[in-house]
Amino acid sequence: MLAGFFSRKDDTAPLAIGEAEYTVIDTELTGLDLKKDSIVSIGAVRMKGARIDIGASFYQLIHPSSGMDHKNILIHGITPSEVEQKPAIDAVLDELSAFCGDSVIVGHFVSLDINFINKELKRTGRKNMKNAAVDTCKIYEWIKSNEGPFSRHYTARRDELDLFSIAREYSISFNEGHNALSDAFITAQLFQRFLSSLPGSGVKSIRDLLKIGKA
């Protein structure tokens, strides 16, 4: 559907945000250092426009290529023994890219997830992800700054921008878990709410969406 997305630049009727297909993604990592760390699990949920597809989700635990340290084990709750028998990321990458197709990738601080995925793609001799990608955190900040005359001066503290705090603000119910799939599902619900309000603020097409939220 979104094949040749970047060539749409000159189209007269850009794709509406309510009609595009999205893959909402989240990864759990052994740490935040792109050089040293690697992916432990990937979760993803598909959306058709603002509809979350309940039956289509992707979840894979991965045998990480780097060691797991204690601090992060405590965050994501995945232990080394759990992933020992799991496939290495190489075996998962093709499945993941088939799942994403040419949909728009959505995630909270999604650049981080994409950087890690691209690193693995590159390492295994594959090409980087070409999909357009938007960051729910950026969209959130844009909405906040666009809300009223005073909100222009709004600057969120970094610790208020995490997924759970924002989800709470939008009364999305969830179990705080740091599981890649449930986090992706929370992100999808957050994005779903954004999609319902954005057209009213003039964000109607994918092009508009990328302007405010490109990862």
Partner 1 sequence: MILEEAIGFLKKNPPFQLLDEPVLKDVAHNLSMEFYPKDTVILKQDGPPSEAVRTIKKGSVKILMKAEGGTDSIIDYRGEGDSFGFVSLIAGDKQKTTVIAADDTICYTLGRDKVLKLIESRPAFAEYFMSHLTRYVERTFEEMKGRSLAYSGTDRLLFTTPSGDIAKEVITVPEDTTLQEAAQVMAKHRISSLIVLNRNNVPAGIITDRDLRRVVASARNVTDPVKNIMSISLIRVDANDSCFDAVLKMIKYNIHHMIVIKEGELKGIITNHDLMLLQGTSPLSFVNDIEKQQTIEDLVTVSAKMNTIIGLLLQESTKASSITGIITEINDRLLKKVIEIAERKFGQPPVPYCFIVYGSEGRKEQTFKTDQDNAIIYADTPSAEAEEEAEKYFSALAGFIKDSLIQIGFSSCRADYMASNPKWRKPLKRWKEYFENWISRPTPEAVLKSLIFFDMRPVHGKFSLCNELGSFYMPLIAKNKIFLGQMANIIVKNSPPIGFLKSFVVEKSGEHKNEFDLKLKGVMPLNDIIRLFALESGIKLTATLDRIGALKITHPAVKEYHNELMHAFEFIMMLRMHYQYEQIKEGRSPENFINPDKLSNLEKRTIREAFHLISKLQGTVVEMYKPLIV
- Residues at the interface with partner 1 (CB under 8 A): 45, 48, 50-55, 57, 171, 173, 179, 181-182, 185, 189, 192-193, 196-197
Residue among 30 and 192 whose Cβ is closer to partner 1: 192
Q: Which residue, 105 or 172, has its beta carbon nearer to partner 1?
A: 172
* Closest CB 46 distance from partner 1, rounded Å: 9
- Closest to partner 1 by CB, 58 or 116: 58
| Residues 39 and 121: beta-carbon distance below 8 Å | no
Nearer to partner 1, 110 or 180 (CB): 180
The number of beta carbons lying within 10 Å of the beta carbon of residue 72 is 18
The token pair that represents 141 in the structure block: 């900040």
Which DSSP category does 13 fall into?
S
Q: Give me the least distance between CB of 48 and partner 1, in Å please.
A: 7
Nearer Cβ to partner 1, position 47 or 215? 47
| Nearest-approach distance from CB 188 to partner 1, in angstroms | 8
Q: What is the DSSP string of 114-180?
A: HHHHHHHHHHTT-PPP-S-EEEHHHHHHHHHHTSSTTGGG----GGG-SHHHHHHHTT--------H
- Please, what sign has the CA dihedral across residues 34, 38, 40, 44? positive
CB of 195 to partner 1, least distance (A): 8
Q: Which amino acid is at 187?
A: T
Minimum Å gap between C-beta 45 and partner 1 is 7
